[in-house]
């Protein structure tokens, strides 16, 4: 259906996980609170409008985000659920693909299409081989706002 997708990481890219007090302690203790309480790092309304505009032109949008570094299968399941709820709260019906995958999974292996990746981690951008990659600071420049 689509042959070009704009992919977004979540934590540190569109969601301010690292700005949530005690985020690391909570993740170590298998508490999903930081994923639920993270504030957006972008202007949601602006991004939603840009996504709608690009979708009208036939492009798709996806999320490729990792679960925590460690955790039980139950915790990983709860992370996936919580991240999807966060996306629905701040970016309802925006993403054609949502992949919440095991920490460290190469993101290019998950992407269904050629496209751009927006990610705050340099190593993910360097390994992206499905198109171009950009830092989280470049989202609005690349999408043309």
Question: What is the spatial order of strands in the sheet that 114-118 belongs to?
Answer: 97-101, 60-66, 4-8, 114-118, 133-134
Nearest CA to 76 out of 58, 39, 98, 102 is that of 102
Looking up residue 116, the CATH number of its domain turns out to be: 3.40.50.1000
Q: Domain of 107?
A: 4-143
**Residue 3: what pLDDT?**
76
Mean pLDDT by 10 residues, the chain (145 residues): 87 98 97 98 97 95 96 96 98 97 96 96 97 97 89
Number of domains in the chain: 1
Q: Is-above-0.85 flag for pTM?
A: yes
**Residue 8: what pLDDT?**
98
């Amino acid at each position: 259906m689509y042959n070009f997708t704009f992919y977004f990481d979540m934590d540190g890219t569109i969601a301010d996980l690292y700005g949530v007090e005690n985020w690391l302690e909570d993740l170590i203790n298998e508490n999903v609170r930081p994923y639920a309480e993270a504030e957006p790092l972008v202007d949601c309304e602006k991004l939603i409008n840009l996504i709608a505009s690009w979708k009208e032109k036939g492009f798709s949008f996806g999320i490729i985000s990792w679960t925590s570094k460690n955790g039980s299968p139950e915790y990983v399941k709860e992370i996936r659920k919580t991240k999807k709820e966060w996306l629905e709260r701040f970016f309802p019906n925006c993403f054609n693909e949502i992949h919440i995958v095991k920490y460290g999974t190469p993101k290019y292996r998950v992407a269904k299409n050629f496209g751009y990746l927006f990610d705050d981690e340099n190593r993910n951008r360097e390994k992206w081989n499905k198109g171009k990659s950009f830092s989280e600071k470049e989202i609005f420049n690349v999408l043309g706002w």
